[in-house]
Chain A
Amino acid sequence: MTGDGAKTGLRLSGVRYGYAGGQGPVLDGIDLEIQPGQVVGVVGANESGKSTLCLVAAGIAPGTIGGRLEGTVRIDDINSSHAKPYELSQRCGILFQNPTTQLSGIAPNVWEEVAFGPRNLSLPLGEVIERVEEALDALGIGALRERDPQRLSGGQSQLVALAAVIALRPRYLVLDEPTSQLDPEGTRLVGDALVRTAQRTGSGILVVEHKTDLLARLTTEVLVLDHGRIALRGPSHDVLADESLERHGVSPPSDVRLRRALTAAGVPIPDLAV
């Protein structure tokens, strides 16, 4: 980490947020900190505030979509309310659920799609090229470079979108249910890419998912969101095995479910590793 700990991290302090024209706060008192190198998972029932949390963490709310924010959101040394969206996107990237709508829709090939962000920042051509090549390389999608982004599988589209985000070189990444609309192959593709990204880079990652099996693989810490508040937090292993998880509308990972079924039936638990 750095010698100046106070100046790094994606930090939400006392955050309350409500959408413009909405009824009441969707996030109601969130304190959360992600340091570079950490991968934190977020689970919760639908409408518990998970997507809103992603938008607030990345500064899109209220920055782009308005709404009322109380508390502070800081990304490293800046306060998100004082930064422009294009400054924020270079510090914290965000990946959405829908594989196609987050792509620009105007790039004729994957290479130009990934170049979209760096071009927007008016970077010199040499640097644009460098960033695109590295992003494609980091995600292993070099082979897709000439393909039409609108004609890819869901999983491939998500990888292209992820490459497009990291081409802006953010230190933090927020992922809002990146695999929920993908088939099993797409889920595997994206899941593996996320694991690799998390391992290889020193970035801080916040990932929202229903798939607790994936989170068990990917994260070191998990937060449970319930009605806009953090109901539970701690090391992944502990939180995902917690008894109260289902009460918060979350399905535990497969091995936890199996263990519980065996215990309930009074059958001794064998080695469950596969």
Chain B
Amino acid sequence: MAPPKLGDRALLPDRAPAPQSLPDFVGRPAQGRYRGLNPTTKLVIAFSTALIAFGVRGWTGALVALAVVVASATYGRIGRAMLPYALATIPLVISILLVNTFLYPGASDPIAHVGPLSPSWSGLTAAVQGTLRVVAFAMSVALFALTTTTNDLVSDLERRGLGRRPSFVLSAAIGTVPRMIDRAKEITEAQRARGLDTEGRVWRRIRGLVPLAGPLVIGALTEVEEKTMALEARGFTAPGRRTVLRAMPDSPTQRALRWLLTVGTLLVLAASISGALGWLP
């Protein structure tokens, strides 16, 4: 008889059999009216609103997208959480308003004459529309980001057939940023301790780019090598679909909604591109 292997049940002293159900914190579904929706549903909503905001000319696209986003946020009771994201668009919005109002090409309907500058109504219209588009887009992204964790999204996509490699890359990419930031801090400290001046005049600070970026890049490359070995040692390159731990909640209503939104958005975009929607305000 072959000798038992590490981790084999046979080797553990007599215990009650291990629980056969998944611990409840594993893949715990998100709570909340909008949050609790299936991640792919939320993804489709985000894509649709973003595409409609930019894909349809005039007021309609932006307003419809914004309305959908605001309605969803209200339904999900996360309106307040979205505020910082809305406020973050202000700098961009101001520049859009100014540039378009004052510098709109070919405008022939001036509002007033302010010295050499002639703000125009067409410009102002374009400005406000542009603003609405940007805000709609930003809010659409915010809505998604605030209500969906990377894990849940990737888990659902994988269940629907996304390969293990792209899934891993997606999950890992998000986690990379905080790690790189921590690493950059360590590198900065070590180089400052060797006299690299990060507090002095600007031109001295620019010289610091290579000593700061160099170890970061080298470290990232080394990590890729180590990670590859570690992943293979954990069977990552085995064939087949990875075992699903817990399926994200879904419903026929959501399925229908996703189809509707996808097909609808594509139709609208096609119509918009072909000029059939010129009659919309």
Show the binding face of A for B, using Cβ within 8 Å: 1-2, 8, 36-37, 55, 58, 60, 63-65, 84-86, 89-90, 93-94, 96, 98, 101-106, 108-109, 111-112, 115-126, 128-131, 133-135, 137-138, 145-146, 150, 164-171, 173, 197, 200-203
Closest-by-CB residue of B relative to A58 is B233
Show the binding face of B for A, using Cβ within 8 Å: 1-9, 11-12, 15, 18-23, 25-26, 151, 164, 168, 171-172, 175, 179, 223, 225-245
Closest-by-CB residue of B relative to A127 is B243
For the residues of B in contact with A, the DSSP-based class is loop
> B19, A133: Cβ atoms under 8 Å?
yes
Question: Can you list 21 A-B pairs with a CB-CB distance of less than 8 A?
Answer: A2-B2, A60-B229, A65-B229, A86-B232, A104-B234, A105-B172, A105-B175, A105-B179, A105-B227, A106-B168, A112-B26, A117-B234, A119-B242, A120-B238, A128-B243, A129-B22, A134-B18, A146-B25, A169-B7, A170-B6, A201-B4
CA distance A117 to B230 in the complex (A): 11
Give B222 Cβ to nearest chain A Cβ, in Å.
9
> B7, A134: Cβ atoms under 8 Å?
yes
* Most chain A Cβ neighbours within 10 Å, of B2, B4, B235: B235
Whether A171 touches B12, Cβ cut-off 8 Å, given contacts A89-B232, A115-B245, A120-B234, is no
User: Which residues of chain A come closer than 8 Å to B5, judged between CB atoms?
Assistant: 169-171, 201-203
CA distance A36 to B230 in the complex (A): 24
> A111, B23: Cβ atoms under 8 Å?
yes
User: Which residues of chain A come closer than 8 Å to B231, judged between CB atoms?
Assistant: 104
> B25, A200: Cβ atoms under 8 Å?
no
Which of the residues A8, A106, A121, A134 comes within 8 Å of B172, measured between beta carbons? A106
> B18, A129: Cβ atoms under 8 Å?
yes
> A138, B171: Cβ atoms under 8 Å?
no
